[in-house]
Structure 1
Amino acid sequence: MDLLRNRRKRATSVTSISQSSDGTSVPELPGSVSPPETWVEVDISTTDYARRRRELMEMMADLRSMGADALIDLPAVVVIGGQSAGKSSLVEAVSGINVPRDSGTCTRCPMECTMSSDATSWSCTITLRMGVVNNGREQKPTTVPFGRTITDRNEVEIWLRRAQTAILNPHVPSSSFHTKTVEELRNTKNTLKFSCNVVCVSIKDPNATELSFYDLPGLIQNEEADTVALVKGLAEHYTKKENTIILTTIPMSDDMENQQSMTLAREADPSVLTKPDTLGAGAINQRRRWVEIIEGCSEDHKLRHGFYCVRLPDDAERAQCLSRVESQRLAAEYFDTASPWKDVANRHRFGIPGFVSDISRLLIQLIEEALPRLREDVDRLLANCNRDLDALPLPFTNDPQIEVLERINAFCDVFKSVVNGSHEDKRLAQRNRALYAIFKSEIRGTAPDFRPFEEPEEYVPLDDIEGNMTLTKRAPGVSAIGIYDVRKIIKDAIGWELPNNVPYQAKVNLIAQFTKLWITPSERCLAAINDVLAEVISNLISIHFGRFRALEDYVGIQVDTCKSHAQKAVKTALDLETTPHYTQNTHYLQTIREKWLSHYRVVRSNPTQYKARNKTPEFEGLRNDTHSYVEAVPESTTCIYSESEVDDERTSCRYPEAVKEYPSPKLSKARKQCVREVVESFGSRGVLDYSGSKSVSGWNAARTSSLAAPCRPSSPVVTPEVKALVALAEAGYPNLKASDLSRLLPPDSFEEELVVMADVRAYYHVAYKRIIDHIPFTIEHGLHHALAKQLSQSLLGSLLTDVASGSNFSDRMKELVSEDASIVQKRVMLSTRKERLSDIRRRLMTFSNST
């Protein structure tokens, strides 16, 4: 039984039922109708399909030769079925040729059979359609003629065997199979088990009906899983299209529900037969049910275009080499005499002639309905193809040498402006500045943590005496160093020094503890800078060399060279900080040393205030040097003015009468002026406390009097430091500062250690200020500016050197500006598709104009 059905919901579904030749035992049903007399020697070339639409079928053949079926959904008839399903016999009955027959699977590639009546004699030509799909990439099919034109029907079978063997061995020249015998072909070890390439059979027969169909390999089950899936996938490739009419062949004695081909049909259209029926010997009820199906009376198996029943020659009749006319006569005689088929009123449902006529009309109807959609699809695909081609860069047409120079110069000019910050894109400079700020913070975190106590962990860190150098986070490698730690370092460094001489090596060892911590932040900073540079270079390359990747390689070499030089320069800069420890910024070094030494002395004299357990907001201000006593007053509770902001009114606020008149009238004029300068020096710091506090520093009371109105001129109180400095000035010790008061403290047994701490901490600040500038400058000049300066010359030099080593300068230049292979491949693919679509469109329009 053959089931023909259309995948489209609007199209028809047709089934052809194959009856065995033994019809002698078929019981009769009442009410049979006499068959018409026109069944014998019917000329199927006289059907309306052939007379009206010969040109239409020729157009479909032309479109397939152009590879249109890989781009658009061309209407087609596809014959599928299982092994031993009578598919080959049906193909022979329709086409009038003999196809290969073997035990098992004999069809291993699709066969496209096209029949035309536009001839005066019978002939057959075979071609191979190769490379419809090549590694998943679309490619215009290549049609390879196979052998000569066949004029003897008996030779078709052997030529079909040869053609299929050539398809299964694509790496062997097809001409080598032209002379092989059947035995040689059977003994050939094929490279492939199945193939999607097509054997195309073109039959010219004046008595034929214009028809085209695909005969697919029979569906298999008893093979390896991958082979079964391959054959099924090949069938699904053809049957999944909407404009495909599927003809499934199943013997009437088989159970349709168990047929794999019916499963495909069921997946394609829900109206396909779903309930299996079997036909055993003497199964009268089953025969009656088949009659109901053919007549369209079965509610379970209704199809729009019904079912067809055909009788195909058996082996004995095939051995007699009966003509097609004789085979049709025997089939007609069987259906006219055998019950229950002779009693079916619609005789058109039996035999090949009626089947071919109806299928022809159905296919023509499908083609005519699909033509407007085919034209729309081609126009849409052609528009998309043109759009994709327009999106690609234009093919290279300039002189290669000029093009190379222009692109290199443009790239180098833009990169130089980006490095200098004059380009509109400021991201390189801005991102690098942010990275340098992070680097500065990390270096700041390496400051030595000196705590001048016997148990340093029990005290708070002492940072920092300079407000603009506030320490926010220490590096992991920094540990607290107490007074005994410093003493041990001094002891370990003692050599042949005289007494009262601290070994210089002790300071060197302490300095090395923080300078060695600068390596990691420096390397991390350089790596981040390199990442930013790589991103910038990549963006510029995509703009200037995006199509010519060969030039990109030269840029990468120069960038890597400059990165290597910058890394060496950074290492050199860090090595400079290891030895010798030197600076000409002696004034700053001495000033900061004195501040830290004074600070350490004060801290040593007031240890309880720096206990970690006592670190409350009240003592948070005591982290600076002696100036903290007068400078730690919160801004909201003191009168703080810079010298430039002082006017008469504010001066009266800052200097109340009690202070102005503090020097004794008995002092000389010069001595009074000295005392006045002391007061002025405190006033210039903007500090006066009107809280009435008796505290030594005055800052604690100032914090607690935040609700008091500022600058109240009543009840002035002068801090003890001011009084001490005024008294010293009156005694003839002018120009003293609050930090000088620490010299009045009693001698400390750890004075040497405090001096070492102050020396090392002071040198850290000098080196810190130096390194946070030196490393960024080294990176900028060793990497960015060096690259910007050398890039153009280096690129051209490398190109000339490379080209000079070759044989042809012009060819090498062409290679350098050769496009990326993916772009070239895409342009070729789109151009090929455009050419195919244009040819297809012209063929469709030609047919439209002719009709």
Structure 2
Amino acid sequence: MFFNLPQIAVIGSQSAGKSSLIEAVSGSSLMFLWISVPRDSGICTRCPVEVSMISFVEEWKCMIKLRIEYDPSGELQGNSTLIEFCTLSSPANVDLWLRRAQASILCRERPISDFQIMSLNELKRLKPGEGSMLAFSMNVIQVQLEDPEATDLTFIDLPGLIQNASQSEISIAQDLVKKNIKEIGTVILITIPMSDEMENQEAVRLAKQADPSSDRTIGVLTKPDTITRGAIGSRERWKEVLQDKLHRFHHGYYCVRLADDEERAKRLSRSQSEVLATDFFAKTEPWSGFVDRSRFGVPNFVKDMSKLLLGMIEANLPELRVAVDQLILECSNDLEAIPIVPTKEPSTEILLRISDFCRDVMQAVMGEDHKFLVQHNKRHYETFKVAIERTNPDFWPFISKEDHVNPNLHVQGGSVGPLDLEDVRKEIAEALTWELPGTIPFDAVKMIVLKSTTKWSASTNKCFESVFQTTSSVVGELIEYHFKQFSKLEALIQSLVHFELDTCKSKALGIIHKLLSHESVPLYTQNDLDLATEKSKWLSKYTNVYRMSGNHHLSWNPPPPPTAYSGGASQPRPRAIPKGRSSSRSLSTSPVRPASPLHTYNDELSVMATVSAYFQVASKRFVDHIPLAIEHELNQFFAANVHQALLQDMMSGTDVPGRLKDLLSEDEGITTRRQFLNERLTRLEEIREKLSQFNT
């Protein structure tokens, strides 16, 4: 049920006549399979059977469906699945189809179609509880019976409570009963065979647990014809029960006589069965002595049940209306979320979907829609920019970096350096060849620059791969959005699109590597103005820090005289602290003049400034060129070419119309879900219409 609409749950022992009672109420052979004697495996009720009777119809019809809510292990699934099993226009084969439906529910590992063609003998050979066939199931058989002569009632026939079985089977049967009688809107109908003692009825005990005050419990005494004439004590006890003197229920008891085997074999009509029952109660003691006859027979029971359910509905009418409206809204929203059934010719439908997909890809790349892609890629580019900036040579314009604290002239965490004046002097010395005296070899600048730019490859490749993965993910989401309704088409589009994306990736990566090679040799820029400005700025910074190096010194001892480079030979670095002095260091609190004239390190300071200036110019163009190259050569190139690539594949080969038609076959899960929601919505609207007929 969608909500707690009043209904009747029929419980009792396996031989109490539950299904026979429902058969009598329904007025057809609806439950014939469960009341056949002798009983074989598969005959008894082994799963809940929900029977809804509708009288506002012109002709008889029976629809049987399977409501699958639990997996074979008994665990509740995420979604309920409603499967249409059969539609019958005659009661003749109801028993066979109910057998088939129950067998299908008990053996979920086999296709439903296997059971829809099984013969009666094949069904009888099935052994519930053996192999892959369950002994019981919590999944439900839904029977909607449309009969002009029926009474509008909803029954749930539950597996009978058993004693002579394994403990697991006994527990499952009890759990099914407990689950279906706990709701306050459920009337508990206990079928009690008069061939047994009242005190032995397990169903009565479970009903009292669920409904201690018995406000919604009704007893139906069955098999009155099994009490022999000589069982006087038994007759008197059952008479007192029916008179509500023993084991009292709020709504009392009813007594019904149901068809025996001989009468059932004759396929008597409802009216014929009622005549036999009326005659039995009129002529058999002690029932013939009752003045009030309203508690005897199926017709009286059905009439009172209808009044009871009607009263429960009217009492809860406002809540029911709100619940139905809410369920209709939720169901409608779920239906809107499911893609509509395609109505166009297959080639037209597919081409339109491809065009829409490619348009969305282009809009995502350009940031016109699906802004997630551009937003994430810009974050990748920002991370890339920071990584490149961290490769800036970290120059410390001191004679010895070991004796000074970081002047913080460059980005923290740099991967090249720190390099002090002596380190730069060494680079100059190692680069000297036939340069004239006073000339700084260009290779000194080049080698320091290349120490930085050669580290750009790792950050560039990482940025490229991050952008590619983001683009691939967004494209995958767009494929799912446009094609998930058709699993075959979605799989093909997924394959073709990612092949095209990989092709674009390979081409774009080649261009990226070319751009990387451009930043090796030669070192070049036409941006003379910025280069000169940056060099002047950095030379001024380095010179000022060098002049005030005492502010960054770690020792009170002044630095020793500098070494000089000559002919490429590097002199050993002097000790910052004389031997025998304490090695403890503290930051100087007053300026200390450098130990040598400024001109001693002019060349080194000039190299530092030149390298830093060129790095600024080169890195600024590089952190722009790489993102633009990725966007143009990967994302935009892919977005511009994927449409043509898809069309070429779709429209080539043999039997294109047939292939496109096959690709457009809808995913079975979506079809089933849409059908389930449509049926659910129809039923809810019918319920709302019926509720509107009641007066508040």
Cα distance in 2, alignment partners of residues 100 and 393 from structure 1: 50
Tell me if structure 1 keeps the 8 A contact 2:7–2:154. yes
Q: 1:491 to 1:425 in 2, by over 3 A?
A: same
Partner of 1:767: 615
Give the counterpart of 1:107 among 44, 65, 70. 44
Equivalent position SS for 2:87: strand
Tell me if structure 2 keeps the 8 A contact 1:490–1:502. yes
1:79 aligns with 2:10: yes
Partner of 2:652: 805
Give the counterpart of 2:520 among 557, 567, 578. 578
Alpha-carbon displacement from aligned partner over 1:751-809 (angstroms, at most 9, x marks no partner): 4xx634632541232133222223322321442476435633x2233123212433244
Partner of 1:457: 402
Instruction: State the TM-score, normalized to the length of structure 1.
Output: 0.53
Partner of 2:220: none
Cα distance in 2, alignment partners of residues 429 and 199 from structure 1: 52
| TM-fit CA distance, 1:107 | 1.2
The one-letter amino acid paired with 1:267 is A
Q: 1:192 to 1:590 in 2, by over 3 A?
A: closer
Alpha-carbon displacement from aligned partner over 1:332-390 (angstroms, at most 9, x marks no partner): 88753xxxx99x977759xxx71535412212314655788699988886676556556
Cα distance in 2, alignment partners of residues 440 and 181 from structure 1: 73
Cα distance in 2, alignment partners of residues 133 and 78 from structure 1: 19
Tell me if structure 2 keeps the 8 A contact 1:83–1:220. yes
The one-letter amino acid paired with 1:481 is L
Q: 1:161 to 1:802 in 2, by over 3 A?
A: closer
Tell me if structure 2 keeps the 8 A contact 1:105–1:218. no
When the two structures are aligned, how many residues end up with a matched partner? 603
Cα distance in 2, alignment partners of residues 848 and 460 from structure 1: 89
Cα distance in 2, alignment partners of residues 181 and 584 from structure 1: 90
Give the counterpart of 2:253 among 302, 307, 310. 307
Tell me if structure 1 keeps the 8 A contact 2:355–2:643. no
Give the counterpart of 1:246 among 163, 181, 188. 188
Q: 1:75 to 1:606 in 2, by over 3 A?
A: closer
The one-letter amino acid paired with 1:763 is V
Tell me if structure 2 keeps the 8 A contact 1:127–1:199. no
Partner of 2:625: 777
Give the counterpart of 2:449 among 500, 511, 530. 511
Cα distance in 2, alignment partners of residues 536 and 167 from structure 1: 41
Cα distance in 1, alignment partners of residues 651 and 672 from structure 2: 30
Equivalent position SS for 2:628: helix
Equivalent position SS for 1:247: strand
| TM-fit CA distance, 1:459 | 1.6
Q: 1:746 to 1:402 in 2, by over 3 A?
A: closer
Partner of 1:271: 214
Show structure 1 runs of 5+ residues with no match: 1-69, 117-124, 151-155, 275-283, 465-470, 615-699, 702-741
Equivalent position SS for 1:137: strand
Tell me if structure 2 keeps the 8 A contact 1:445–1:474. yes
Partner of 2:66: 131
Tell me if structure 1 keeps the 8 A contact 2:67–2:83. yes
| TM-fit CA distance, 1:306 | 1.7
Cα distance in 2, alignment partners of residues 769 and 329 from structure 1: 111
Equivalent position SS for 1:248: strand
Matches within 5 A, 1:14-33: none
Tell me if structure 2 keeps the 8 A contact 1:565–1:782. no
The one-letter amino acid paired with 1:131 is L
Show structure 2 runs of 5+ residues with no match: 55-59, 70-78, 218-231, 265-271, 557-589
Cα distance in 2, alignment partners of residues 311 and 832 from structure 1: 37
1:755 aligns with 2:603: yes
| TM-fit CA distance, 1:80 | 1.3
Q: 1:178 to 1:492 in 2, by over 3 A?
A: same
Matches within 5 A, 1:659-738: none
Cα distance in 1, alignment partners of residues 379 and 99 from structure 2: 76
Alpha-carbon displacement from aligned partner over 1:813-841 (angstroms, at most 9, x marks no partner): 66788878776554444444456667888
Equivalent position SS for 1:305: coil
Equivalent position SS for 1:108: coil
Equivalent position SS for 2:64: strand
Q: 1:816 to 1:403 in 2, by over 3 A?
A: farther
The one-letter amino acid paired with 2:66 is G
Cα distance in 2, alignment partners of residues 835 and 310 from structure 1: 36
Equivalent position SS for 2:523: coil
Cα distance in 1, alignment partners of residues 533 and 652 from structure 2: 64
Give the counterpart of 1:403 among 348, 352, 356. 352
Tell me if structure 1 keeps the 8 A contact 2:395–2:608. no
Cα distance in 2, alignment partners of residues 495 and 812 from structure 1: 73
Tell me if structure 2 keeps the 8 A contact 1:82–1:218. yes
The one-letter amino acid paired with 2:86 is T
Cα distance in 2, alignment partners of residues 827 and 162 from structure 1: 25
Matches within 5 A, 1:12-161: 77-83=8-14, 99-102=36-39, 107-109=44-46, 129-133=64-68, 136-143=80-87
The one-letter amino acid paired with 1:129 is I
| TM-fit CA distance, 1:463 | 5.8
Cα distance in 1, alignment partners of residues 540 and 93 from structure 2: 114
Matches within 5 A, 1:212-611: 215-220=157-162, 227-228=169-170, 230-232=172-174, 234-235=176-177, 239=181, 244-250=186-192, 256=199, 259=202, 262-264=205-207, 266-268=209-211, 270-271=213-214, 294-296=242-244, 302-308=248-254, 335-336=285-286, 348=293, 354-366=296-308, 368-369=310-311, 389=335, 395-397=341-343, 399-400=348-349, 403=352, 407=356, 410-411=359-360, 414=363, 418=366, 439-462=384-407, 464=409, 471=410, 473-486=411-424, 507-523=445-461, 525-526=463-464, 550=490, 558-583=500-525, 607-611=549-553
Tell me if structure 2 keeps the 8 A contact 1:147–1:178. no
| TM-fit CA distance, 1:217 | 1.9
Tell me if structure 2 keeps the 8 A contact 1:92–1:99. no
Cα distance in 2, alignment partners of residues 129 and 819 from structure 1: 25
Equivalent position SS for 2:644: helix
Tell me if structure 1 keeps the 8 A contact 2:393–2:414. no
Cα distance in 2, alignment partners of residues 114 and 224 from structure 1: 32
Cα distance in 1, alignment partners of residues 526 and 417 from structure 2: 29
Cα distance in 2, alignment partners of residues 390 and 501 from structure 1: 79
Q: 1:461 to 1:138 in 2, by over 3 A?
A: same
Tell me if structure 2 keeps the 8 A contact 1:428–1:532. yes
Q: 1:492 to 1:825 in 2, by over 3 A?
A: farther
Identity of aligned residues (%): 28
Equivalent position SS for 1:136: strand
Q: 1:560 to 1:236 in 2, by over 3 A?
A: farther
Equivalent position SS for 1:131: strand
Partner of 2:587: none
Q: 1:227 to 1:816 in 2, by over 3 A?
A: same
The one-letter amino acid paired with 1:801 is Q
Instruction: State the TM-score, normalized to the length of structure 2.
Output: 0.62
> How much is the aligned-residue C-alpha RMSD, in angstroms?
6.4
Alpha-carbon displacement from aligned partner over 1:186-231 (angstroms, at most 9, x marks no partner): 8997944335565989999x9x999996643212466567645543
Larger radius of gyration: 1
